[in-house]
Structure 1
Amino acid sequence: MATYYSQPAAANYNTAPLHPQRQRGYRICDQCGTVETPAVKFRLCGGCMTTQYCSQDCQKVHWPSHRIICQHTQTQVKQASAASSGYADENVAKTLRKFTSAHSTLLGWAGFQALQLKRVPANVRQNALVVELSYHNHTDAHRRFSISATHVVPRTYIRDPLVLADIQRREERCRQNGGIGTLIVIIQCGGTSQVMPVEVDPPSKIGWDSRDDWAQVLSHFVESGRTDFKPISTTSRG
């Protein structure tokens, strides 16, 4: 069974900061940590189409360390595409990648709620959220998947050594910046899967409400094709 693991640039889905220059509610450059803003539009790596950079210079500097995981990701994409011939869309791996990008905030929030990180921050080091999808040949690209099941699994569910090494690198960076670690969300459709790491701030800095209905919220936004999800908060920091 072919498995596709991608390593998107770390995204921190947290509350608005007191200082804009330290904002952690958006994606960050995988080389220098610059926050993506309307004035600083990120560029994707042309090989894996997942890692993001604020400039071509950062992309060049990061390439020596990114090369191995980038080439590995490209190989997995090709294998997953070949194995997905049972679906109407032969490019299901690429479609899954676009789906993950479009719903990144929603998926990160669902993982935060599923692992109950507000109550038990240590869960970020032990468990991961698996989101199983069903594929539909819909004319609207944002409605080609629906949620078939969700599971909380041990982090040992991931066994690819290159993916694990990339996650470890992100965790070390997150903790150096004061975070609690990297939340892992695994999105699966048939034999194709994508790993989404999310660097998480301490719960004391996160104003999201704890929600027990996260699975229903996830299904609603995915199946309706909505990509405008925003976390709900009742605190002044949210």
Structure 2
Amino acid sequence: MAPAAANYYSHPSTTASHPQKQRGYRVCDTCGAVENPTIQKFRLCGGCMTTQYCSPECQKSHWPSHKVICQHTAAQMSGAKQQPVGAAYPDENLVKYLRKFTSTHSSLLGWAGFQALQLKRMPSNIRQNCLLIELGYNPHAESLFRFTVSRTHIVPRSYVTDNDPLVGADIERREERCRRAGGIGTLVVLVQCGGISQVMPVEVDPPAKISWDQREDWAEVLQHFVASGRTDFKPISTTARG
């Protein structure tokens, strides 16, 4: 079977020298508008880096309800930055690097989570499990080569929601919004490196609207694109829509 990426065999150097940044599926947290990057790019909240808005007006109006989870996330990141450099915290900038990694590879990570949980065949898995991705760190001068994928695990979603009730409540809020819009819910991808973790929630359309095949080589493809420093992942689609 061919790899689950239309550009799997592209030469890594072409994308490492001139990276084409991915943009995952983004929904305005205030009005529910879906991003169309060719017309207007949404902005991420600078505090939590997981909430997006279509305009400054939507961001401002959402702040009273977003404030608690945003400040909670920012406080966790600030606390991690103050930890002494060692085995668990190999670099004082690890928090910033991990946030950038998650944002840069959002499309790849969301696709890997969709495949790992087999949501094409079993949409109900989205509420039961999440994908945990463990990264290895390398203090490389090039930001795209600072991480490698060490291991991946399917873990209960309670691994995330029970350990941090505020994050769990935010995921549940996204879940309800996604379902009201006709989606199947919120996919949770947890990215970890040393003692730092980043939760990436992804609101997922119904499988009938997603053209990807179910793939078993998702972990290999994930490792390949991350290790190659590539940000141009393009999943193979079985319909003209993709």
TM-score interval (norm. to shorter): 0.7 to 0.9
Contact 2:132 2:154 in 1 (8 A): yes
SS in 1 for 2:133: strand
1:59 aligns with 2:59: yes
SS in 2 for 1:188: strand
Give the direction of change, closer, same or farther, for the CA distance of 1:102–1:84 in structure 2 (3 Å limit).
farther
Distance 1:77 1:181 in 2: 26
Contact 1:83 1:191 in 2 (8 A): no
Letter in 1 for 2:54: C
Letter in 2 for 1:73: T
Gaps of 5+ in 1: 1-24
Give the direction of change, closer, same or farther, for the CA distance of 1:147–1:29 in structure 2 (3 Å limit).
same
Structure 1 equivalent of residue 93 of structure 2? 91
Letter in 1 for 2:214: S
Distance 1:49 1:117 in 2: 25
RMSD across aligned positions (CA): 1.4
Give the direction of change, closer, same or farther, for the CA distance of 1:212–1:52 in structure 2 (3 Å limit).
same
Instruction: Render the CA deviation track for 1:123-147: whole Å, top value 9, x for unaligned.
Output: 1110000000011001110110000
Q: CA deviation at 1:237?
A: 3.0
1:155 aligns with 2:154: no
Superposition map of 1:140-219 within 5 A? 140-158=142-160, 159-219=163-223
Give the direction of change, closer, same or farther, for the CA distance of 1:205–1:50 in structure 2 (3 Å limit).
closer
Distance 1:221 1:188 in 2: 17
Distance 2:68 2:203 in 1: 22
Spell out structure 1 runs of 4+ moving beyond 4 A. none
Q: How many pairs were matched up? A: 214
Distance 1:32 1:160 in 2: 26
Identity within the alignment, %: 70
Distance 2:43 2:218 in 1: 31
Superposition map of 1:89-168 within 5 A? 89-158=91-160, 159-168=163-172
Q: CA deviation at 1:169?
A: 0.2
Structure 1 equivalent of residue 72 of structure 2? 72
Letter in 2 for 1:60: K
Gaps of 5+ in 2: 1-23
Distance 1:218 1:193 in 2: 18
SS in 1 for 2:32: coil
Pick one of 226, 231, 234 that aligns with 2:235.
231
Instruction: Render the CA deviation track for 1:133-172: whole Å, top value 9, x for unaligned.
Output: 0110011101100000000001110120100000000000
Give the direction of change, closer, same or farther, for the CA distance of 1:150–1:182 in structure 2 (3 Å limit).
same
Contact 2:144 2:230 in 1 (8 A): yes
Structure 1 equivalent of residue 27 of structure 2? 28
Give the direction of change, closer, same or farther, for the CA distance of 1:195–1:49 in structure 2 (3 Å limit).
closer
Instruction: Render the CA deviation track for 1:11-68: whole Å, top value 9, x for unaligned.
Output: xxxxxxxxxxxxxx73121111222223322223233343221111101110000000
SS in 2 for 1:98: helix
Contact 1:84 1:191 in 2 (8 A): no
TM-score normalised by structure 2 residue count? 0.85
SS in 1 for 2:31: coil
Distance 2:115 2:74 in 1: 31
1:50 aligns with 2:50: yes
TM-score normalised by structure 1 residue count? 0.86
Give the direction of change, closer, same or farther, for the CA distance of 1:52–1:127 in structure 2 (3 Å limit).
same
